[in-house]
Amino acid sequence: MFETLIKFFNFCNAENRHKFYVSVVLGVFNSFFMALRIAAIAIMLQGVIRHVQGTAPFTMETVWLSLAVMVASLTGATITKRFMSMLQTEGGYRTCASKRIEIAEHLRYLPMGYFNKNSLGYITSVTTNTMEQLGDVATRVVMMVTQGILDTLLIILLIGVFDWRIGLISAAGFALFQFVNTLMRLNVRGISHEKTLWDSKVVEKVLEYIQGIAEVKAYNMTGPRSKELNEVIDKCTGANITMELKTVPLMGLQGLVTKLTGIAIMLASLHFYLAGTMELANCAVMLVCAFILFSALEVGGNYAALLRTVDIAVNRANDILNKPTMDIDGEDIAPANHDIKADGIDFAYDKRKIIDNVTLSIPEKTTTAIVGPSGSGKTTLCHLLSRFWDVNAGSVTLGGRRVQDYSMDSLMKNFSFVFQNVYLFRDTIENNIKFGNPSATHEQVVESAKKACCHDFIEKLPDGYNTVIGEGGASLSGGERQRISIARAIMKDSPVIILDEATANVDPENERDLMLAIQELTREKTVIMIAHRLKTVRHADQIVVLDKGRIVEQGKHEELVKNGGIYARFIDSRREAVSWKL
């Protein structure tokens, strides 16, 4: 138990960890003030009983003293509880908020291969479900478990002051309670992991279902036909039910232990009184203590079952945070030029070689088109040139310096990207464009939009540039999303532009505007483009043909057509495809 709490405290950053430490100290004072209730009750009971026995008069001083102790108890307990609860709540939720940001920052510097190996569902689950559970559960667990133990130990100590024999019975009950509580935590260890696993799988499958909703509708994969989704939900439900079934009986046993200990204290107190070894006043106090001794401990013990959830949540977050990032601690370099060179680079993914001994030179302010069959490594090559991945062998340089010599942020300043599948955030169009330059003014946003040929359609939207678009840009057409993406790249104004199939899925109505936008974006830039359309590659300064990860042809359009190789066959097939008519 304490190992998990320590792990959680270490997981928190220094500021939030300090909040928890202070809250624990306040918890000690809170327990002390709560224990004073017994002293107030004891003063009153002793005064009344001794008055009845005729051994001492009952005076108003006794009443005022009991009242003063009770007021001090309630006041101190209320104040310390308030600050303790606020500190623990702030510490818990702020820890989760800061860890979400830390995970997001960490993901920026992981090799892109990580995202191929790990599903979106897993990452989403950790940053949403896991962090949400940690924020909700950890705060309550720390508060209830530590407070239950502190309250009970101080009351046991106070009982021991009145009568050491009852103190020993109370301590034995406490030890037995902790034994049952340990059994409960061990009992849920396996199922807690399984529950968290299926929680992640539910998120993964729901995301997959939503992202493929068009296919789901087209093939009527709803209701009982969405077999995989239904199975995952059923297994997640089963894991949650199993966890409850494993904890509820032991929680009941914990309650039984506390009740039996209370009965034992009552019977022992009466026995000692009847045997003449305990005063009636002390016996009455012990009878009261029997009812309140384990109230806080029982609540905390029930929450202790969730310690395993806290442990797993911390482990899952650390699993991502401990993934080795690429070396990002380079220098902040402003290159003298933007020549890009790859010298004998190799890259393998899952032991499958994708780029094989590629050597390539891309002079500044030239256009290089990369073509080749599907799976030949075109996108991977672009990712290696811009250091989305690190090469396994060879080197990539920008301006004569290895890309590893740059800090990641200073390297990324040199690159802008326009991908085939554009992602826009659920935000205003203006903010999506300002991603390229967050400090840009509205006038600069409009200027970039005009250059990207998207100003006119933006103005026709209900709220213009303040129109909030759907997640992923779902409320816009493909061509409109592409042009906003280009406006974003224009706003960034990087010297190197990488176009990955930017015009592949654009309808004819949008193609003209999109080509004009690309011309504006690429003016006086170093351009690397992956394309399958003849009109987008034939005027390139050099064309690189990839096949099975190797450069098999390289040159200008006319030269490669005359060679009669892969590129010539590619051109012929494109011409033949264009000539088809219905």
Total domains present in the chain? 2
Mean pLDDT over each residue of the chain, to the nearest integer: 80
Instruction: Please provide residue 323's backbone torsions phi and psi, each rounded to the nearest 5 degrees.
Output: -65, 130
Which of 271, 291, 321 represents a domain boundary (last residue)? 321
**In a domain? residue 331:** no
Same domain, 294 and 360: no
Same domain, 172 and 276: yes
Instruction: Please provide residue 460's backbone torsions phi and psi, each rounded to the nearest 5 degrees.
Output: -80, -10
Beta-carbon count within 10 A of 60 CB: 8
Task: Tell me the average pLDDT across 397-408.
Answer: 88
pLDDT (tens digit per residue) in 259-314: 888 889 899 989 998 888 988 878 888 888 888 777 767 766 666 666 667 777 88
Edge-first strand listing for the sheet containing 367-371: 415-419, 496-500, 526-530, 367-371, 542-547, 550-555
Question: How much of the chain, in percent, has pLDDT values that exceed 70?
Answer: 85
Can you give the three-state secondary structure of 254-277, one letter per residue?
HHHHHHHHHHHHHHHHHHHHHCCC
CB 110 within 8 A of CB 28: no
Pick the residue with more confidence: 92 or 64? 64
Task: Tell me the average pLDDT across 103-132.
Answer: 74
Domain holding 228: CATH number?
Answer: 1.20.1560.10
pLDDT band, residue 78 (cuts 50/70/90): very high
Same domain, 527 and 494: yes
**In a domain? residue 459:** yes
Measured CA to CA, the distance from residue 561 to residue 581 in angstroms comes to: 25
Question: How much of the chain, in percent, has pLDDT values that exceed 90?
Answer: 7
Measured CA to CA, the distance from residue 545 to residue 527 in angstroms comes to: 16
Same domain, 472 and 554: yes
**In a domain? residue 328:** no
**In a domain? residue 354:** yes
pLDDT (tens digit per residue) in 167-209: 899 899 888 888 887 787 777 666 666 776 777 777 777 766 7
Strand 352-362 versus strand 340-349 pairing type = antiparallel
Same domain, 490 and 424: yes
Residue 224: pLDDT over 70:
no
Same domain, 141 and 64: yes
**What pLDDT was estimated at residue 579?**
46
Same domain, 424 and 348: yes
Domain holding 506: CATH number?
Answer: 3.40.50.300
Same domain, 116 and 52: yes
Which of 269, 289, 321 represents a domain boundary (last residue)? 321
Poorest-confidence range of 16-30, 267-281, 388-402, 558-572?
558-572
Measured CA to CA, the distance from residue 521 to residue 511 in angstroms comes to: 15
Residue 62: pLDDT over 80:
yes
Pick the residue with more confidence: 509 or 33? 33
Tokens 């205003």 correspond to 428
Task: Tell me the average pLDDT across 509-532.
Answer: 75
Give which of 131, 77, 81 is closest to 104, Cα–Cα. 131
Residues 6+ apart with CB under 8 A from 63: 44, 47
Same domain, 282 and 403: no
User: In angstroms, what CA-CA distances link 377 with 84, 222, 421, 529?
Assistant: 57, 37, 18, 13
Same domain, 314 and 356: no
Residues 6+ apart with CB under 8 A from 100: 127, 131
Pick the residue with more confidence: 281 or 220? 281
**In a domain? residue 20:** yes
Q: Which range scores top for mean pLDDT: 196-200, 377-381, 561-565?
A: 377-381
Domain assignment of residue 13, given as a range? 2-321
Instruction: Find the helix or strand (DSSP H, E) in which 468 lies.
Output: none
Structure tokens at 201: 């799988």
**In a domain? residue 334:** no
Measured CA to CA, the distance from residue 444 to residue 23 in angstroms comes to: 49
**In a domain? residue 326:** no
Same domain, 346 and 296: no
- pTM of the full predicted structure? 0.64
Name the amino acid, one letter, at 309: T
Residue 581: pLDDT over 50:
no
Which of 321, 351, 377 represents a domain boundary (last residue)? 321
Instruction: Find the helix or strand (DSSP H, E) in which 353 lies.
Output: strand 352-362
Pick the residue with more confidence: 13 or 67? 67
Measured CA to CA, the distance from residue 370 to residue 302 in angstroms comes to: 62
Beta-carbon count within 10 A of 512 CB: 12
Measured CA to CA, the distance from residue 444 to residue 437 in angstroms comes to: 10
Task: Tell me the average pLDDT across 356-382.
Answer: 87
Residue 79: pLDDT over 90:
yes
**In a domain? residue 332:** no
Q: Which range scores top for mean pLDDT: 105-114, 237-246, 431-440?
A: 431-440
Same domain, 30 and 119: yes
CB 464 within 8 A of CB 519: no
**What pLDDT was estimated at residue 345?**
92
